[in-house]
Amino acid sequence: MKIDDLLSSIEPEAVGRDIYQLIKEIYPFGRSITGDGVRRTLDILKQYIPLEIHEIPSGTEVFDWTIPKEWNIKDACVKNSRGERIIDFQTSNLHVVSYSIPINRIMSLEKLKQHLHTLPDHPDWIPYRTSYYKETWGFCLSHNQFLNLEDEQYEVFIDSSLKEGHLTYGEYCLQGETSDEVLISCHSCHPSLCNDNLSGVALSAILGKYMKALSLRYSYRFLFIPGTVGSIAWLYTNENRVPRIKHGMVLACLGDRGKSTYKRSRRGNAEIDRAAAHVLKHSRSDYEVVDFIPYGYDERQYCSPGFNLPVGCLMRTPHGRYPEYHTSADNLDLVRPESLADSFLKCLKIFQILEGNRKYRNRNPRCEPQLGKRGLYGALGGQQDAVADQMAMLWILNLSDGSHTLLDIAYRANMDFRTILAAADALRDKGLLEENKE
Q: Considering the complex, state which of residue 128 and residue 210 has its C-beta at the smaller distance from Zn ion.
A: 128
- As measured in angstroms, the least distance from the Cβ of 326 to Zn ion is 6
Cα distances from 428 to residues 207, 216, 416, in angstroms, run: 30, 19, 19
Closest-by-Cβ residue to Zn ion is 196
Q: Considering the complex, state which of residue 329 and residue 424 has its C-beta at the smaller distance from Zn ion.
A: 329
Q: Considering the complex, state which of residue 127 and residue 402 has its C-beta at the smaller distance from Zn ion.
A: 127
- As measured in angstroms, the least distance from the Cβ of 378 to Zn ion is 51
The 311-315 sheet, strands edge to edge: 52-57, 166-174, 219-225, 181-187, 245-251, 311-315, 260-263, 287-290
Residue 22 CA to residue 201 CA, distance in Å, equals 9
Residue 169 CA to residue 105 CA, distance in Å, equals 34
State the burial class of residue 173 (Cβ atoms within 10 Å of its Cβ: 0-12, 13-18, 19+).
Answer: middle
Residue 285 CA to residue 278 CA, distance in Å, equals 12
Residue closest to 278 by CA, chosen among 72, 419, 117, 425 = 419
- As measured in angstroms, the least distance from the Cβ of 158 to Zn ion is 22
- As measured in angstroms, the least distance from the Cβ of 11 to Zn ion is 31
Strand partners, 289: 262
Residue 256 CA to residue 195 CA, distance in Å, equals 7
* Residues shown for the chain: 438
> Which 3 state secondary structure label does DSSP give 229?
helix
Q: Considering the complex, state which of residue 255 and residue 356 has its C-beta at the smaller distance from Zn ion.
A: 255
> Which 3 state secondary structure label does DSSP give 227?
coil
- As measured in angstroms, the least distance from the Cβ of 319 to Zn ion is 6
- As measured in angstroms, the least distance from the Cβ of 252 to Zn ion is 8
Q: Considering the complex, state which of residue 199 and residue 400 has its C-beta at the smaller distance from Zn ion.
A: 199
Q: Considering the complex, state which of residue 18 and residue 196 has its C-beta at the smaller distance from Zn ion.
A: 196
Q: Considering the complex, state which of residue 196 and residue 299 has its C-beta at the smaller distance from Zn ion.
A: 196
Q: Considering the complex, state which of residue 196 and residue 273 has its C-beta at the smaller distance from Zn ion.
A: 196
Residue 149 CA to residue 161 CA, distance in Å, equals 28
Q: Which stretches of the chain bind Zn ion, using CB under 5 A?
A: 196
Residue closest to 287 by CA, chosen among 309, 307, 264, 315 = 315
Cα distances from 222 to residues 201, 211, 280, 284, 397, in angstroms, run: 10, 11, 22, 28, 37
- As measured in angstroms, the least distance from the Cβ of 289 to Zn ion is 22
Q: Considering the complex, state which of residue 196 and residue 389 has its C-beta at the smaller distance from Zn ion.
A: 196
- As measured in angstroms, the least distance from the Cβ of 187 to Zn ion is 7
- As measured in angstroms, the least distance from the Cβ of 128 to Zn ion is 8
> Which 3 state secondary structure label does DSSP give 300?
helix
Residue 297 CA to residue 373 CA, distance in Å, equals 54
